[in-house]
A and B are shown apart, each in its own frame.
Chain A
Amino acid sequence: MKKTLALVLVVVLLLSLGLTACKKQEEPTTGTEPTPTEVAQGPKVLRVASDEPPALDPQIGTDAVSIRLNNLLLEGLVRIHDGKIQPGMAEKWEISEDGLTYTFHLRDAKWSDGKPVTAQDFEYSWRRLVDPKTASEYAFQGYYIKNGEEINTGAITDLTQLGVKAVNEKTFVVELHTPCAYFLSLAGFLSFLPSRQDKVEEFGEAYGTEIEKFVTNGPFKLVEWKHDDKHAVEKNPEYWNATAIKLDRIEFTVVVEAATVINMYEAGDIDMCGLTGDFIAKYKAEGKSKSYTDGAEFYLEVNTKGKTAATGKVLGNHDFRLALGFAIDRQALITAVLKNDSLPALRFVPGNLMGVKDRFTNEHPYAFWPANADVAKAKEHLDKALAALGTTVDKLPTIELLNYEGDSSRIFGEALQDMWLKNLGVKVEMKQVQFKEKLQLATDKDYDLNFAGWGPDYDDAMTFVDLFVTDGGHNNTSWGDKKFDELILGAKKEADQVKRGQMMAEAEKILVEAAPILPIYLRYRNYTQADYVTGVVRNSIGADPDFVYADILPQ
């Protein structure tokens, strides 16, 4: 019995080991490599390190790996490439005056099993996205469509009430419930890619889990899939734009450990890889390090009501929050801790998002936070805060910083702690927890400061600014501002794009200066690739990397 008990303990230990040892999933890194002979002889094979796609069913998938692979395998009404909208299954489209009705005209195209791609396929797929029975995590993408939200939340049970209609085999009409400036770019997103009714019904939950249980209509075909190990795609000669596709084959090998990916690249097994830690400096020295932003902005959420009543009193003080913000040396965090090409966030909306004609941040220039710490200003605000609170620094309650797991996050948190202690004399404790637990604590407002990040859902400033409307689902700060809410709501209804942009810019200022969030940096990722790989586009929205038009140069 003792031994069986011991065994139970061993298993429990195994489980707990797994729990404590679990890491945040490494960002999928990429790599490619043709052997020289392959390049010389013709077939252009690109070898890439990736991860196992969790769900190729476009209405079910949500993750970067599935998005990246489906970008090659499937094609929506439009294709998004390098931030631009290109015709896809639709060769042309019209938008009504009021911006509410989109009419797409489909081209002649075939599925991988030879059947024609029809408007009915899109009608079915888009209805399927918002159907509560599908239980799609990204159903909210369909809320832009008339009755999308009502159907998904059960207020309307008739699927045909959704604002999509296949007028005939080649004409697909979409009705939105409010004008949406970025709807075309959404139409190219994963959730709106087509799935095939007969196959979904045949395979049910297993649709998209094996090659033979999936049909595709994109520039590449899935030809090999050994789960958790590797998968490969080959050029689809039937694709309408096949002449634009240069690669014959892309091989994805499943490797998640960042160091292993770099080792494989250095050994010549793959031709592209993400760089981390000291490798960035090494490749930079050789002039081989490239970088791009994945669009993720990192910031501190301040719970203005605090984890406890005592901290709430302090964090609810506007000057105290400003003091915390000015005491942060954003540039130093990037240079000394992150050691990559990330940019200090001097405002909330990141610089990569589009405005009306130019980048949003170019159309509405603004900077509130300094790149380096402004200690004098920080102290000034601290003194004001302490006077208002009638206390001194050493009598402040201990504030807790909620942080991600892992060594690099710990070092980042420690640097923040150090800056606050040195510049203000404010003591902050750090608590590192697993990702899901952290989300839960933040949602429950069971924290003081939370180091958090947000990645864009679409190419528009709204994907950031509307996070912090009063009591919004993503607003964990307990902060709210009437004027801010009005501006956001107004911008969402505004058809005039210039006015809409101004409203968002004004709202952003209110948010940034009220400081329920303290922006820190816009993440850049560093990577390297072999000289003969071209045409791989790195994106902050949609498929990253985008291999569709990639090529291998003869050496």
Chain B
Amino acid sequence: MFKYIGKRFLISLITIWVLVTLTFFLIRLLPGDPFTNPKITPEIKANLEKYYGFDKPLPVQYVKYFSNLLRFDFGSSLRYKGRTINKMLAEAAPISANLGIRAVIFACTVGIFLGIIAALNKDKVLDKLTIFLAIVGVSIPGFVMASFLQYLIGVKLGWLPVAKWIDPARGMGFKYTILPTLCLGFGTLAVYSRYMRTSMLEITGSDYIKTARAKGLSPIQVTIKHQIRNAMLPIVTILGPTIAGLLTGAFVIENVFAIPGLGRQFVISINNQDYPMILGLTIFYGTFLITMNFLTDLVYGFVDPRIRVSK
């Protein structure tokens, strides 16, 4: 087990290194550069390139960037002059994480619950309702739903704030999180409910459920102790990709609700070819995703003893 973890850890590090290197060189292939601006002259551009060290050969820049990176120094933004990437990430990441965790919890709990309800009421009205909800959730893109709910609930009904995010100093709290969480989590919720339903129904006919029934357990005990627990397995498998999906979805949701998270930085940095920020975000996301996947594997091992044993 430890050997396995160690090996995975090493592979993760190599993956991150490949990611940094590829990104570093690939963004330079984008047409234009951070200083492409119709107003400035070639001489001024040369001054800027010198200032930021872009006049040096690319390998030299790479070595410099990488040595800084080893000291966890991501450099300064080219767009937000003078602000360090470390600080910008430190400001934005907790906000995105806050939103992301809310969305995951919302999507998982409600999704799984709906899946169970649907499975237990197979082909009845409640089942059909969750199918309808799932179709809506999967087929409506997050930004469409966000714009719609923002207009309906924020503007027309006035029940919830139109945009912005938690700020206790101004008495902005929980109610600001509801719409973004709902919009970000809804698609995932729909997927989860379908997965859970299918998974529950697959198990219904399996031998151990029959055995459990034969031992005389009550239907509730069978459902809770055996059916739900085993049906959760596929859900855990899709947790990693789910979080990846939520991250990409968050770009749009953060934008619509004017939430100062990483999504905003991502879009702005790419538009402005803010190299240090693009790299910083890529490394951040890459590391995060690799870690999540790693954790998913571990959790999987805990939930399913068969996997633990085989390793």
Q: A residues touching B (Cβ–Cβ < 8 Å)?
A: 1, 3-4, 7-8, 10-12, 14-15, 17-19, 21-25, 52, 54-55, 57, 60-62, 132-133, 135-140, 152-154, 204-209, 226-230, 253-257, 259-260, 263-264, 266-267, 269, 433-437, 439-441, 454, 457, 473-474
Contacts and interface: CB of A to CB of B under 8 A. Distances in A.
Contacts of A269: 161-163
Interface in B235-263: 241, 244, 247-248, 251-252, 255-258, 260
A7 B80 contact: no
A473 B39 CA distance: 9
24 contacts: A10-B241, A12-B22, A23-B271, A60-B81, A61-B81, A62-B37, A135-B52, A137-B37, A137-B39, A137-B40, A138-B39, A140-B41, A206-B82, A209-B82, A226-B260, A227-B83, A228-B265, A229-B164, A255-B164, A267-B154, A269-B161, A269-B162, A269-B163, A474-B38
Interface stretch (B12-20, B65-73, B99-107, B200-208): B12-20
Contacts of B273: 436
A500 to B, nearest CB: 23
B80 A52 contact: yes
A256 B255 contact: yes
For this complex, into which size category does the number of interface residues on chain B fall? 35 or more
B148 to A, nearest CB: 11
Contact of B271 (A17, A25, A135, A440): A25
Contacts of A436: 30-33, 36, 273
Main secondary structure on B side of the interface with A? helix
Nearest to B44: A139
B11 interface: yes
A491 B165 CA distance: 54
B308 to A, nearest CB: 18
Given A19-B270, A23-B271, A137-B48, A228 B91 contact: yes
A256 B255 CA distance: 8
Contact of B258 (A4, A254, A435, A440): A254
Given A4-B11, A254-B258, A269-B162, A263 B32 contact: no
Given A7-B286, A21-B251, A229-B165, 15 more contacts: A1-B11, A15-B23, A22-B267, A57-B82, A132-B47, A140-B41, A206-B83, A209-B81, A227-B80, A255-B163, A263-B150, A263-B155, A264-B162, A267-B158, A437-B32
A260 B256 contact: yes
Contacts of A135: 47-48, 50-52
B216 interface: no
B162 A260 contact: yes
B147 interface: yes
Contacts of A474: 38
A140 B258 CA distance: 35
Contacts of A139: 44, 47
B113 interface: no
A64 to B, nearest CB: 13
B248 A17 contact: yes
Interface in B144-177: 147, 150-151, 154-155, 158, 161-165, 167
A226 B167 CA distance: 10
A128 B256 CA distance: 39
Nearest to A153: B43
Nearest to B52: A135
Contacts of A255: 163-164, 258
A19 B43 CA distance: 29
A311 B81 CA distance: 42
Contact of A152 (B37, B43, B161, B285): B43
A59 B195 CA distance: 57
B244 A10 contact: yes
B131 interface: no
A133 B248 CA distance: 39
A211 B79 CA distance: 19
B254 to A, nearest CB: 10
B232 interface: no
A152 B47 contact: yes
B199 interface: no
A206 B91 CA distance: 16
A10 B89 CA distance: 20
A361 to B, nearest CB: 23
Given A1-B11, A21-B267, A440 B247 contact: no
Nearest to B78: A54
* Shortest Cβ-Cβ A-B pairs, 7 listed: A436-B32, A135-B51, A228-B260, A437-B31, A55-B81, A255-B258, A229-B260
A21 B92 CA distance: 20
B282 A11 contact: yes
B48 A439 contact: no
A173 to B, nearest CB: 26
Q: Which among A3, A152, A474 has the greatest number of chain B C-beta atoms within 10 A?
A: A3
A262 to B, nearest CB: 9
Contact of A7 (B15, B48, B147): B15
Nearest to A205: B82
B62 interface: no
A205 B91 contact: no
Nearest to A446: B31
B133 interface: no
B130 to A, nearest CB: 29
